[in-house]
A and B are shown apart, each in its own frame.
Chain A
């Protein structure tokens, strides 16, 4: 059996495109997708926002990409992720890595699955051209296809 890929953690309906006014707004949208996908309860979204506001934009971990999440708690129902793409980018205040064009929100319930998900995220984004490719996508189908063709 093939090992699980990012496609197993991000559903087509958990991928959205938008032109957001701020990093917080885009992160909130990514968090909302986790709620809508049944991965977390409502309170998780405000945790995400709180962490950004309290700790600053440290989650913008590479040029153009942020990984946002809340605490592992009862707010988390399942391990999984969502993706928000803003092709024109939002400013987070992380000068080295702005503008942010791809925001992944993740939820961690099961350690093993969570590690597998992060492993596939690393494999994908260790390819520097991935941000540009994702920003050029216009449908969630395209995104999922891009992901599966770029993972071993």
Chain B
């Protein structure tokens, strides 16, 4: 299972999303790889990601992507992340 955490540049928000997603996934005992990247990379047609995590402002820029897009309002809220990931994965 492959997830992407996405932000404009791939170096700030996305890295924080990745760290917290990894924390939550390990609590849920789900084996998955999370990469932080920028929008352009996430949109590449050969992207192997099943799920893309981003903040709401960026989700419209991911229109047409084949992965499921989960938009996260509060990057630091592990409960929000956990609930949204569980809804998609379990």
With A and B bound together, what is the CA distance between A147 and B1 in angstroms?
A: 35
B-contacting 9-mer, from A1-9, A51-59, A82-90: A51-59
Number of interface residues of B (CB under 8 A): 20
A133 contacts B by Cβ under 8 Å: no
A118 touches B58 (CB 8 A): no
Query: A residues engaging B (CB < 8 A)?
Result: 51, 55-59, 61-63, 65, 67, 69, 71-72, 94, 96-97, 106, 108, 114-115, 118-119, 121-122, 125-126, 128
11 other A-B residue contacts (CB within 8 Å) besides A56-B57, A62-B76, A72-B9: A58-B7, A58-B8, A58-B56, A59-B8, A61-B75, A65-B76, A67-B12, A96-B74, A114-B11, A122-B19, A128-B77
Query: B residues engaging A (CB < 8 A)?
Result: 7-9, 11-13, 15-16, 19-20, 55-58, 73-78
